[in-house]
Amino acid sequence: MKEFAAICGVSPATVSYALRNDSRISEPVRERIQSKAREVNYRPDSSNSALVRYRKQIHTDVQRPSVAIAYAHPPASRRTKLFQVHVNRFRQSIQQYGYDLKEYYIGNQADGGAKLLHQMRVNDTQGLVLAWGQWEQKLNEFPWQEFAVASAERNQIHPAIDRVSVNHFNATEVAIQALEVRGARRIGLVCHHDLPLRVKKNIVGAYIQHIYKKEGHSPPAPPYFYKIGAPTQPFEKWRTKHQLDAILAHRQIDFSFFNEQGLRFPQDSQYAVIEIDDNNAHEESGVVIDAGLGDALAEVIAAKLHYGERVDLQRQGDLILINGQWREGITTHPPEKSSTEIASL
Among 101, 175, 297, 300, binds another protein (CB under 8 A): 300
Among 112, 133, 266, 292, binds another protein (CB under 8 A): 292
Give the interface size with another protein as a residue count (CB under 8 A): 53
Site string for another protein, 146-165 (x = CB under 8 A): x-------------------
Query: Is 44 a binder of another protein (CB under 8 A)?
Result: no
As a whole number of angstroms, the distance between CA 302 and CA 227 comes to 38
What CA–CA distances, in Å, run from 276 to 159, 200, 286?
28, 16, 7
Among 132, 321, 331, 332, binds another protein (CB under 8 A): 321
Among 3, 13, 22, 35, binds another protein (CB under 8 A): 35
Nearer Cβ to another protein, position 138 or 304? 304
Residue 286 falls in which region: left (phi positive, over 0), alpha (psi -120 to 50) or beta: left
- Of 100, 139, 85, which is closest to residue 116 (Cα–Cα)? 139
Q: Which range in 50-58, 180-188, 196-204, 265-273 contacts another protein by CB under 8 A?
A: 196-204
Query: Is 1 a binder of another protein (CB under 8 A)?
Result: no
In this structure, are residues 260 and 232 in contact, taking their beta carbons and an 8 Å threshold?
Answer: yes
As a whole number of angstroms, the distance between CA 158 and CA 151 comes to 9
As a whole number of angstroms, the distance between CA 288 and CA 272 comes to 11
Map the footprint of another protein across residues 116-135, applying CB under 8 A: 118, 121-122, 124
| DSSP strands (E only) in the chain | 66-71, 100-105, 127-130, 148-151, 162-166, 187-192, 224-226, 246-249, 270-276, 285-288, 319-322, 325-327
Map the footprint of another protein across residues 203-222, applying CB under 8 A: 204-206, 208-209, 212-213
As a whole number of angstroms, the distance between CA 89 and CA 179 comes to 29
- Of 40, 95, 106, which is closest to residue 71 (Cα–Cα)? 106
Least separation in angstroms between CB 306 and another protein? 5
Query: Is 143 a binder of another protein (CB under 8 A)?
Result: yes
Name the site residues for another protein (rule: CB under 8 A).
6-9, 28, 31-32, 34-35, 96-97, 118, 121-122, 124, 141, 143, 146, 167, 169-170, 173, 200-202, 204-206, 208-209, 212-213, 292, 295-296, 299-300, 302-304, 306-309, 314-316, 318-323
